[in-house]
Chain A
Amino acid sequence: QLQLQESGPGLVKPSETLSLTCTVSGGSISSSSYYWGWIRQPPGKGLEWIGSIYYSGSTYYNPSLKSRVTISADTSKNQFSLKLSSVTAADTAVYYCARRPSGRGYGMDVWGQGTTVTVSS
Chain B
Amino acid sequence: DIQMTQSPSSLSASVGDRVTITCRASQSISSYLNWYQQKPGKAPKLLIYGASSLQSGVPSRFSGSGSGTDFTLTISSLQPEDFATYYCQENYSNLFTFGGGTKVEIK
A binds B: yes
Asked if A57 CB lies within 8 Å of chain B CBs, one says no
What per-residue 1/0 map shows which CB atoms of B30-56 lie under 8 Å from chain A? 011011101000111110111000010
Q: How far is the CA of A49 from the CA of B43 in the complex (A)?
A: 14
CB contacts (< 8 Å) of A46 on chain B: these are 87, 98-101
Secondary structure call for the B interface: loop
Q: Chain B nearest CB: distance from A49 CB in Å?
A: 4
Contact (Cβ within 8 A) A49 B96: yes
Asked if B7 CB lies within 8 Å of chain A CBs, one says no
Contact (Cβ within 8 A) B44 A47: yes
Asked if A63 CB lies within 8 Å of chain B CBs, one says yes
Q: How far is the CA of A113 from the CA of B42 in the complex (A)?
A: 7
Give A97's nearest chain B residue, CB to CB.
B43
Interface size class of A (residues with CB under 8 A): 20 to 34
Contact (Cβ within 8 A) A114 B43: yes
Q: Chain A nearest CB: distance from B77 CB in Å?
A: 24
CB contacts (< 8 Å) of B44 on chain A: these are 47, 96, 108, 111
Asked if A105 CB lies within 8 Å of chain B CBs, one says yes
Contact (Cβ within 8 A) A108 B95: no
Contact (Cβ within 8 A) B31 A109: no
Q: How far is the CA of A91 from the CA of B20 in the complex (A)?
A: 33
Q: How far is the CA of A100 from the CA of B95 in the complex (A)?
A: 13
What per-residue 1/0 map shows which CB atoms of A56-96 lie under 8 Å from chain B? 00001011000000000000000000000000000000001
Give A48's nearest chain B residue, CB to CB.
B98
Contact (Cβ within 8 A) A108 B87: no
Contact (Cβ within 8 A) B94 A60: yes
Asked if A42 CB lies within 8 Å of chain B CBs, one says no
Which of A49, A104, A105, A108 has a CB less than 8 Å from the CB of B46?
A108
List 21 contacting pairs A-B, 8 Å CB cutoff, sorted by A: A47-B38, A47-B98, A47-B101, A49-B96, A63-B1, A63-B95, A98-B43, A105-B31, A105-B32, A105-B50, A106-B34, A107-B36, A107-B46, A107-B48, A107-B55, A107-B89, A108-B34, A108-B44, A109-B46, A113-B43, A114-B43
A interface residues, Cβ below 8 angstroms from B: 37, 46-49, 60, 62-63, 96, 98, 100, 104-109, 111-114
